[in-house]
Chain A
Amino acid sequence: MPFVPHTEAEIRQMLAVIGLTSLDDLFADITPELRPRSFNVPAGKTESAVLARMEALAGKNRTDLISFLGAGFYQHAVPSVIDALTGRSEFYTAYTPYQPECSQGTLQAIFEFQTAVARLFDMECCNASVYDGGSALFEAAMMAVRHTKRHSIVVDECINPLWRAQLETWHNEGIVHFVTVPHKNGTSDMAALKAAITDNTAAVMVQNPNFFGAVEDFSELFAHARAHKVLSVISVYPVLQSVLKTPGEMGADVAVADGQSLGQYLNFGGPYLGIMTCRKDCIRQFPGRIVGRTKDVDGETGYVLTLQAREQHIRRAKATSNICSNQALCALRALIYLAVVGRQGLMRVAENSMVMARKAVEKLTAISGVHLLNDAPFGNEVALVLPKPAAAVAASLMAQGIVPGFPLGGLYAGMDNVLLLACTELTSSQQVDALASALASALGGAQ
């Protein structure tokens, strides 16, 4: 049997030591009435048979298409050092560093992750990760509720609808409720966001670049929020954060992100990581694991899990969050990514991605009837209005091997003709040309 080392002789010896006669005796507490009604799990297979089947399943997924899909999740290059280093089993077969002396590798890496992200976002504190971008937003909302002792959160409709759907599911009316402020043609309605802030508002939550790709400056909104003792929460796109105005510069209290773009594969939805940063004065309400630097008894520098009194294993029902296992290995991937691309490299990834998006816009808006949703500045993603329903157009392009972006009709009212299209540094001019000519003929064909 795979992965069980016991020989028959050892089994007998061990049972004798325990004072039992058969392996079944180990389960005597499970009385006959509690026994399984069935257990028809198919018989085991050899390693090669399992791998052959997995290869067959993987082969049924079309990863060969030219894709302009983004919507918060992007195919950036994943440098090979990331797989090589996170594939070291000293990292991936360890668990939460409860025993710091034999976990300094994990602990120092988390501390460095906290530093790198705090610098990228221009924020003071960062934790060891939460599950994903949506749970990070939810945890930020809960922080604000505890920090302000108010219960209402103003949410910009320009925040990724996938994450807003999570907020909708995760929240509990008795604890926190969300007031959504409609977008204004794909941009934040700053006046409406300000007007939505009341005495009961704990936080205002926005996203930059927003879901439609528009880049905004929220400094004024955040100043208004601060004046009303409301926390400012912003969700950002870590790669573009290398060039965009920072959450810190805008005056955010909490800045979160999905860290997928930092060295994680798309993986059909996960694992990714939720990144959370905050100002020091919110630290007592911060969820999750945090690593701190300290000294050992000999005065040597070392790292430990710290401020644990916030966490469920100590505080139980009164903890700042229920999170226990997080996405540590994904955080390690993100750190290695940031280390190997470095200051210049990350800016180049952002700039190359933005340059490609402009090329795509230029080519696509040259097609009759295709225009941008708005004239807001954008990063590497844009919303395009087509002269026909985007879903049908997308289906016809996909049959030709091109995924032109995500149709927004199912996510926003009145957006049936809108397509959300993303580029990265991996997008080529040839791919853009292929998209432009396929789109032109798809649209021309029916005119």
Chain B
Amino acid sequence: MKSLFAQSVAGRVGYLPEKPEKSAAELLSAHLLRKVEPQLPELSELDVVRHFTRLSQQNFGVDSHFYPLGSCTMKYNPKFTEQAAALPGFTRLHPLLAQMPEGERYTQGALQCLWDMEQALKEITGMAGYTLQPMAGANGEFTGVKLIAAYHKDKGNKKTKIIVPDSAHGTNPASAVLAGYDIVNIESKDGMIDPETLEAALDDDVAALMMTCPNTLGLFETHLPQIVEKLRKVDALLYYDGANMNAVLGQMRVGDVGFDVVHLNVHKTFATPHGGGGPGAGPVGVSEKLLPYLPVGRVEKRADDSFFLNFDYPKSIGHIAPFYGNFGIVVRGLAYIERLGGEGLRRASTFAVLNANYLRVVLQDTLDIPYNRVCMHEFVASAPEGQRALDIAKGLLDRGYHAPTIYFPLIVKECLMPEPTETESKQTLDAFVEALMDAVAEGRDTPEKAHEAPVTLPIRRLDETAAARQMVLTEDMA
């Protein structure tokens, strides 16, 4: 589609503010001003509306298409949460108003949202406290590892390593490295962390194990109690990547089973929209012993039930976000949690797991399912011998479905990872299965045709190699 810039007409205006009393040249001396006016597009408001409306129509989203992107929990994003977050009492609130002298008096509602969300997350996960500052899952991981580092430093522990299983998401090792740790990669056995392999990797230098549970193969880590015990022996902490929390709400609380740190993805588990790549929110929960290190300011409640920000935590790691995190996302998540309540959350996980297992069983003759046993909210499969996961994914696009996650986790060959979520009906799953069988049959019977897919969308397969080589990253780099 023609770009915004190509549609620009010199002199055309859209949303044009009043003419200023003075121009920049009259306000500042020339050496402080830009020489050439910024080459932004010149369009009418309707030009802009039509352009972005048409762009939107080239997207698949949860509202228009089944979107079983594994590890991303693409559940339905309820509309009332959008309405809650759009309330002017939230959107127009300057974050520094709360930090003005007596500013908390003017921001009680917002502080209470943060407080309520922290209380809800504590009860849902059994952790002792939360920070809502991290702005996405990976930012939560980084925060969590920073907290672990602060704890060990405070105790005088000299620990340099973090253990990460080979099934982990790429952000886990990347976050731990950013926080200054060396990574010890351990191999999974039968899709799980193997206690013996773990034992061999453990020594006094290990600061923590980062674990995803259910893991990225969609399996519950059945050796969990032994793993916790082994880490305790070397005074190492347990980090829980909560990306897959949608599998276990109300079934297990990470705090109860011995985890010290957990990050949640509000944009997965608590149904806030993924926004085409973000924004999300990645709150981090901690056990009692890590509370002193949480970022400031922490929202606290006085005896008279009013809320305030407490910055007086000398051992705090400081500030992850400039303020209180992605507040607008937290509001949506809180509204969702209040709507569902404890029972609704438990049911969400139950039906997420039911849907995943149903898909797994009905697809077991179509795809190779390496760990074909009761899974949690998602499962992994390999393309049938001789076929490529990529072709199947593109074939699904032609049949009106977003593809599952492909080629992740890295330890499964030609991997497809569907995560249906609880909000999809049996009819949708059945239709998806039919489409998938059809795509696989095409790959088997007419592989050339399968390589051609997609053929029904505005664009066909793109030359990614040329993109990386030619590096056209703006209109002006052509």
Mutual binders A and B:
yes
In the complex, the chain B residue whose C-beta lies closest to that of A122 is: B34
Known contacts A26-B354, A322-B178, A351-B22; A104 and B474 CB within 8 A of each other? no
Partner of B278, one of A51, A216, A328: A328
Check A47 for interface membership: any CB of B closer than 8 A.
yes
In chain A, positions 395-428 with a C-beta closer than 8 Å to chain B are 395, 398, 403, 406-407, 425
CB pair B470–A294 under 8 Å, yes or no, is yes
Would you give the 0/1 interface string for B137-177, flagging 1 where the beta carbon is closer than 8 Å to chain A? 11101100010000000000000000000000111011111
CB pair B34–A134 under 8 Å, yes or no, is no
CB distance from B272 to the nearest CB of A (A): 10
Q: Whole-angstrom distance between the alpha carbons of A313 and B137 in the complex?
A: 14
Partner of A265, one of B52, B63, B91, B463: B91
In the complex, chain A residues whose CB is within 8 Å of the CB of B418? none
CB distance from B156 to the nearest CB of A (A): 17
Task: Kindly count the residue-residue contacts between A and B in the assembled complex, taking CB atoms under 8 Å apart.
Answer: 709
In the complex, chain B residues whose CB is within 8 Å of the CB of A318? 177
CB pair B180–A174 under 8 Å, yes or no, is yes
Q: How many residues of B sit at the interface, in one of the four size bands? A: 35 or more
Check A224 for interface membership: any CB of B closer than 8 A.
no
In chain A, positions 231-262 with a C-beta closer than 8 Å to chain B are 241-246, 249, 258
Check B135 for interface membership: any CB of A closer than 8 A.
yes
In the complex, chain B residues whose CB is within 8 Å of the CB of A249? 34-35
Partner of B43, one of A128, A242, A342: A342
In the complex, chain A residues whose CB is within 8 Å of the CB of B248? 30
In chain A, positions 331-373 with a C-beta closer than 8 Å to chain B are 332, 335-336, 338-352, 354-355, 358
Q: Whole-angstrom distance between the alpha carbons of A295 and B286 in the complex?
A: 48
Known contacts A17-B362, A94-B276, A103-B59; A62 and B34 CB within 8 A of each other? no
CB pair B93–A336 under 8 Å, yes or no, is no
CB distance from A128 to the nearest CB of B (A): 7
Q: Whole-angstrom distance between the alpha carbons of A138 and B343 in the complex?
A: 42
In the complex, chain B residues whose CB is within 8 Å of the CB of A63? 88-89, 92-93
Q: Whole-angstrom distance between the alpha carbons of A137 and B273 in the complex?
A: 27
In the complex, the chain A residue whose C-beta lies closest to that of B273 is: A92
CB pair B48–A270 under 8 Å, yes or no, is no
Partner of B4, one of A112, A122, A325: A112
CB pair B341–A44 under 8 Å, yes or no, is yes
| Of B198-206, B232-240, B320-328, B441-449, the one with at least 4 CB within 8 A of chain A | B320-328
Q: Whole-angstrom distance between the alpha carbons of A323 and B170 in the complex?
A: 10
Partner of A296, one of B38, B72, B460: B460
Q: Whole-angstrom distance between the alpha carbons of A175 and B142 in the complex?
A: 15
Q: Whole-angstrom distance between the alpha carbons of A332 and B457 in the complex?
A: 22
In the complex, chain A residues whose CB is within 8 Å of the CB of B466? 294-295
Check A149 for interface membership: any CB of B closer than 8 A.
no
In the complex, chain B residues whose CB is within 8 Å of the CB of A270? 95, 135, 279, 321, 323-329
Q: Whole-angstrom distance between the alpha carbons of A43 and B329 in the complex?
A: 22
CB pair A269–B322 under 8 Å, yes or no, is yes
Q: How many residues of A sit at the interface, in one of the four size bands? A: 35 or more
Partner of A342, one of B13, B75, B99: B13
CB pair A345–B322 under 8 Å, yes or no, is no
Known contacts A51-B83, A55-B87; A340 and B341 CB within 8 A of each other? no
Q: Whole-angstrom distance between the alpha carbons of A133 and B323 in the complex?
A: 12
| Of A83-91, A186-194, A439-447, the one with at least 4 CB within 8 A of chain B | A83-91
Check A227 for interface membership: any CB of B closer than 8 A.
no
Check B366 for interface membership: any CB of A closer than 8 A.
no
CB pair B35–A342 under 8 Å, yes or no, is no
Check A291 for interface membership: any CB of B closer than 8 A.
yes
Q: Whole-angstrom distance between the alpha carbons of A216 and B39 in the complex?
A: 23
Would you give the 0/1 interface string for A96-139, flagging 1 where the beta carbon is closer than 8 Å to chain B? 11111111111011011011101110101110110111110000
Q: Whole-angstrom distance between the alpha carbons of A211 and B403 in the complex?
A: 46
CB distance from A28 to the nearest CB of B (A): 7
| Of A64-72, A151-159, A198-206, A430-438, the one with at least 4 CB within 8 A of chain B | A64-72
CB pair A54–B335 under 8 Å, yes or no, is yes
Check A317 for interface membership: any CB of B closer than 8 A.
yes
In the complex, chain A residues whose CB is within 8 Å of the CB of B209? none
CB pair B321–A119 under 8 Å, yes or no, is no
In chain B, positions 322-370 with a C-beta closer than 8 Å to chain A are 322-329, 331, 335, 337-348, 350-351, 353-355, 357-358, 361-362
28 cross-chain CB contacts under 8 A: A1-B343, A26-B350, A26-B353, A28-B374, A34-B225, A36-B252, A41-B124, A43-B343, A61-B93, A93-B77, A97-B276, A99-B394, A108-B3, A112-B475, A244-B33, A268-B107, A292-B467, A292-B470, A321-B174, A324-B170, A327-B278, A328-B277, A329-B276, A338-B40, A342-B42, A345-B13, A345-B14, A406-B96
Q: Which 10 A-B pairs have the closest CB atoms?
A: A58-B89, A269-B323, A44-B341, A60-B109, A328-B277, A329-B275, A41-B342, A169-B318, A269-B95, A351-B20
A-B contacts besides A69-B100, A93-B63, A297-B461, 14 pairs, CB < 8 Å: A29-B376, A46-B339, A60-B112, A85-B52, A92-B273, A93-B273, A98-B69, A102-B58, A120-B40, A172-B178, A283-B473, A336-B52, A343-B39, A350-B24
